[in-house]
Amino acid sequence: MPTTLITGASSGLGAEMARQMAALGHDLALTARRTDRLDALQAEITAAHPGRRVETYPLDVTDDEAVLAVTRRVQEDFGTIERYVVNAGLGKGAPVGKGSHYANRETLTTNVLGAFAQAEAAMQVFREQKSGHLVIISSVTSVRGFPSSMTAYAASKAAVASLGEGIRSEMLGKPDLEIDVSVICPGYIRSEMNEKVEQKVRFMVDTETGVRSMVAAIEARRAKAFVPARPWAALAKVMQVAPLPVVRKLM
């Protein structure tokens, strides 16, 4: 069975990706800081799919040495890692200049530096194996700058989208390496990160529906995908060229 490593798997999109990928036949290595939730998810998945192997590993992705150590441990435990999903992230934020820079710093540290550490560890393994599938979970917010509490988050997702594209560009010149890179840009999907948002958000879909579109794009090894495709594939194109006042109204 193919082995998929998912970071930030204790809740939200990561947990649902684990459920859906297990149903598709993947063995799973799940990492997160909250190990109690990982253990509960492990029990749930193995009960639903007795043939699946699910292992859990405590991990804080802002600890570079731990990221590499856990990745190597997964490789040793399973023999190979076919897919590495860089999913762990934060959604904290505050308007720039309002004195809450610590929230933005925490988000940027986790979402950007943490993602780079994960990509580094994953690519070390994939280069040795000469194959693999690196998946970067970005966001539709990566397309343009966002105001207020979303500024740092959107900037972080733009950074990781560029990271994924840069690695993919390098792999185009390495015919001896069968390494695919996918950048997945979800639109508004209900998850633990946004569950406290009380106002009605346009185009929001439930977790299972949204993640199903993410998993489909990942399984197809899409180079870049805005999901769910309706309306985000079209909206992303509009957002790239529309004036900022129009983008604000759209989002």
Interior CA angle at 75 toward 70 and 78, to 5°? 120
Interior CA angle at 111 toward 110 and 116, to 5°? 95
Determine the residue type at 36: D
* Residue recorded with tokens 């949204």: 210
Q: Which of 57, 84, 102, 153 is catalytic?
A: 153
Interior CA angle at 222 toward 115 and 93, to 5°? 35
The pair of structure tokens assigned to 133 is 């599938």
Residue pair 20/45 in contact by the 8 Å Cβ criterion? no
Determine the residue type at 70: V
Residue pair 206/214 in contact by the 8 Å Cβ criterion? no
| Annotation marks residue 153 as catalytic | yes
Backbone angles phi, psi at 168, to 5 degrees: -60, -40
Q: Which residues are catalytic?
A: 153
